[in-house]
Amino acid sequence: MTAQWRPVRQSRTHELVLETIEQQLLTGQLKAGDRLPPERELAAALGVSRSALREALRVLETIGVLVAQVGRGPDAGARIVREPDDALGRVLRLHLALGSYGLEDVLEARVVLERSSVEAAARAGRTEDFEAAEELLAGMAGAEADAERFNELDTAFHVLLARSSGNHLVSTLTSAVRESVRALILGAERNLDDWPGTARKLNADHAELLRLIGAGEGAAAADLVERHIRGFHGAFVSSRPEDADH
Amino acid sequence: MTAQWRPVRQSRTHELVLETIEQQLLTGQLKAGDRLPPERELAAALGVSRSALREALRVLETIGVLVAQVGRGPDAGARIVREPDDALGRVLRLHLALGSYGLEDVLEARVVLERSSVEAAARAGRTEDFEAAEELLAGMAGAEADAERFNELDTAFHVLLARSSGNHLVSTLTSAVRESVRALILGAERNLDDWPGTARKLNADHAELLRLIGAGEGAAAADLVERHIRGFHGAFVSSRPEDADH
DNA sequence: TTCCTCATTATGGTCCGACCGAAGGGAAGG
DNA sequence: CCTTCCCTTCGGTCGGACCATAATGAGGAA
């Protein structure tokens, strides 16, 4: 194997701090819900400046592992939380914009993830999610004129299906990927010739998808969701010929 | 729809800075390879303190969108880059540790992603990746005694297959998910009764997988990789009964 | 007593000014 | 022409100060 040496880039203080805290997370010494000491105390305890500590905390915050609240009382200060969705969404969104991967890749990823989601959802059969999905569906039917609102509900619908699969990770990834192309999809919808008609078609897909999932027909639902995604996604990719290289 | 209000959490300076820079990324005013102005200048231009700016830059750095180098010359300063893999890996790793999702979820996600990867790889048929994979395979055969090294090569092997699919996004996700459980897998391997025997079996799978991909038999390769992952992953999940809730 | 009001205090958020160390650029000297 | 050494330009770090926010608790009014 050809040796690949990456620069060591050693010892930026905030990275050391980060490692320390990460270790405590990985070993379970820090759990969700725990509070960190006040910044000034922790900085002193770690022997670093408050600025360096704050940079490390900021990183944890963007990862969705920590939130901070000002003020006083039991809810104030820095707390460990579990909110990966926004973090992943932001990463994917920015890298999509930078062309770290192309739209085709996003299309394939969506197909793969959502096929798996709907199959699992059909197996799980959660009626409460089913009802919520019905509501979203009704909302979309009423919002066919308003592309922005439709897009919002559409995203919520797909994310709900993913969540209904019972697999948090796949759901998080699905949600993040879907969010990352949200602005693009919205832009494409606005440029379509016959948007209301397209919206109706999409909604018909959604209704049928929901029916199949409710009936436990996972395989059929998976095929439908693939057609659904490829159909629309493919249509607007072709109208946006900026291919991203790498 | 029941209204869901999340707190506005408005106007932390570094978030405003972040939005500004993100906008420039999303609109293409900032592209990969571009250099940002020196921190002091940029801070002054944005009308914020250097600390606030630095926190925003740190966020971009953890997202894998920016790197900073000290010193002088054309390569110094903050540059826009495209390195999503480490960022995603870190997010998933920490959230796995926090129990944002369970091991079962990771198993399913790996199955879904890697099935897709090997099918695509079989279609793409990149001979150069094939050769690199052969090398890794040989390396693993020689490292059956050393669990750590084996694990390293194993990870590299799966990541290589993913990359060979030609889909950067799926490859990145695969790599991140695989990295996130790397420490866990290593720990499990060390606790196995018959590790060398297991290693041989895994390697046999790898060899056969590579053969199928080379022969263009994507479907068979997908089935094999699913059995491969479920077999081993399932075995060690059962020996580690800490189920993560949410 | 009970309730409202207001000062106190703990906490994160922001800013400033200073200094350190790394690394390219260029002048001085061989 | 090449080497050596200083200077300048960067990010990285630090300490201290002040602000905004929000719970707390004391003190006064009903």
Query: Which residue reads 């990771």 in tokens?
Result: B106
Distance B12 CA to D19 C1' (A): 13
Question: How many angstroms separate the CA of B233 from the C1' of D22?
Answer: 48
Please state which of the four CATH numbers 3.90.1170.50, 1.10.3720.10, 3.20.20.220, 1.10.10.10 is assigned to the domain occupying B13-80: 1.10.10.10
Using the structure block, give the residue that is written with the tokens 């953890």.
Answer: B62
Residue of B nearest to A173 (CA): B173
pLDDT above 50 for A5: no
Residue B106 tokens read as 């990771």
The CA–CA distances, whole Å, from A226 to A111, A134, A188, B146, B174 equal 5, 20, 19, 43, 20
Taking the CA of residue A160 and the C1' sugar atom of nucleotide D15, their distance in angstroms comes to 49
Name chain A contacts of B175, Cβ cutoff 8 Å.
none
Bridge-based pairing of strands B77-80 and B66-69 is: antiparallel
Three-class secondary structure of residue B190 per DSSP: helix
Question: What fold, for A85-238?
Answer: Four Helix Bundle (Hemerythrin (Met), subunit A) (1.20.120)
Closest CA to A138 of B123, B223, B137, B1: B1
Using the structure, give the distance in angstroms from the CA atom of B73 to the C1' atom of C23, rounded to a whole number: 8
| Interface residue of A18, A24, A25, A98 to substitute, partner B, most B CBs within 10 Å | A98
Which position has the higher pLDDT, A176 or A2?
A: A176
For CA atoms B129, B135, B137, B143, the dihedral sign is negative
Mutate to test the interface with A, among B169, B171, B182 (most CBs of A within 10 A): B169
Query: Which two tokens mark A116?
Result: 């798996």
pLDDT of residue B232: 80
How open is the CA angle A70-A72-A77, to the nearest 5 degrees?
A: 50
Scanning every strand, the nucleotide with its C1' closest to B49's CA turns out to be C15
Going through B70-144 in order, the beta strands assigned E by DSSP cover 77-80
From B68, B137, B170, B129, select the one nearest A112 (Cα to Cα): B170
Mean pLDDT computed over A134-153: 90
The predicted model gives B39-52 an average pLDDT of 97
Q: Dihedral sign for Cα A61, A66, A67, A72, please.
A: negative
Q: Is strand D within 7 Å of residue A18 (CB)? A: no
CB-CB under 8 Å, B95 with A82: yes
Enter the pTM of the model: 0.88
Report, as an integer, the average pLDDT of B20-36: 96
Predicted confidence at residue B5, as pLDDT, reads 46
State the average pLDDT over residues B159-170: 93
A148 pLDDT higher than 50: yes
Mean pLDDT, rounded, for B188-210: 88
Q: Which nucleotides of strand D come closer than 7 angstroms to any CB of the protein?
A: 8-17, 20-24
Query: How many A/B residue pairs have CB atoms within 8 Å?
Result: 153
Highest mean pLDDT range out of A107-116, B143-152, B177-186?
A: A107-116
pLDDT at B4 over 50: no
How would you classify the pairing of strands A66-69 and A77-80?
A: antiparallel
> Which among B97, B100, B109 has CB closest to A173?
B109
The SS3 call for residue A148 is: helix
Measured distance CA(B164)–CA(A31) in Å, rounded: 37
Instruction: Say if residue A183's pLDDT is above 50.
Output: yes
What is the rounded CA–CA span in Å between residue A201 and residue A111? 18
Tokens 């969506």 found at: A110
Q: Is the confidence at residue B147, as pLDDT, over 50?
A: yes
Q: Report the residue from B91, B113, B177 with minimal CB separation from A112.
A: B113
Beta-ladder partners of B35: B79
Question: What burial class does residue B223 get, using C-beta atoms within 10 Å of its C-beta: 0-12 exposed, 13-18 middle, 19+ buried?
Answer: middle
Domain with CATH 1.20.120.530 in chain A: 85-238
Q: Is A64 exposed, middle or buried (0-12, 13-18, 19+ CB in 10 A)?
A: buried
What are the chain B neighbours of A169 within 8 Å (beta carbons)? 92, 101, 105-106, 108-109, 177
The continuous run of DSSP H or E covering A79 comes out as strand A77-80
Residues whose CB is less than 8 angstroms from the CB of residue A238 and which lie 6 or more positions away in sequence, other chains included: none
Measured CA A54 to C1' D22 distance, in angstroms: 21
Amino acid symbol at A27: T
Residues of chain B with CATH 1.10.10.10: 13-80
The answer to whether the beta carbon of residue A48 comes closer than 7 angstroms to any atom of strand D is yes
Tokens encoding A118: 């709907």
B188: confidence class by pLDDT, cuts 50, 70, 90 = confident
Residue B2 φ then ψ, to 5°: -75, 125
The C-alpha torsion from A57 through A62 and A67 to A68, rounded to 10°, is 50
| Residue B91 to residue A93, Cβ atoms within 8 A | no
Closest amino acid to nucleotide D15 (CA–C1'): A49
pLDDT of residue A57: 98
pLDDT tens digits, A190-225: 888 788 888 999 999 999 999 999 999 999 999 999
* Nearest of B5, B182, B61 to residue A55 by alpha carbon: B61
Distance CA A98, CA A101 (A): 8
For the cut 80, the answer to whether the pLDDT of residue B7 exceeds it is no
Candidates B32, B84, B167; nearest CB to A108: B167
Out of B99, B116, B120, name the one closest to residue A32 (CB).
Answer: B99
D23 C1' to A48 CA distance, Å: 29
**pLDDT confidence bin for A12, thresholds 50/70/90:** very high
Q: Could you give phi then psi for residue B83, rounded to 5 degrees? A: -135, 75
CA A104 to chain centre: 18
Enclosing H/E stretch for B36: none
Rounded to the nearest 10°, the torsion over CA A137, A142, A147, A149 is -70
Q: Please give, rounded to a whole number of angstroms, the shortest distance from the CA of A88 to a CA of chain B.
A: 7
Taking the C-alpha atoms of residue A16 and residue A10, their distance in angstroms, rounded to an integer, is 9
Q: Are the C-beta atoms of B186 and B151 separated by less than 8 Å?
A: yes
Contacts of B48-51 spanning 24+ positions with Cβ under 8 A: B48/B13, B48/B14, B48/B16, B48/B17, B49/B13, B51/A51, B51/A54
Which chain A residues are Cβ-neighbours of B94 within 8 angstroms? 22, 25-26, 63, 65
- A30-66 confidence digits (pLDDT tens): 999 999 999 999 999 999 999 999 999 999 999 999 9
Hey, what's the torsion of the CAs at B41, B42, B48, B54, to 10 degrees?
-110
C-alpha A222, offset from chain centre: 20
What pLDDT does residue A244 have?
40
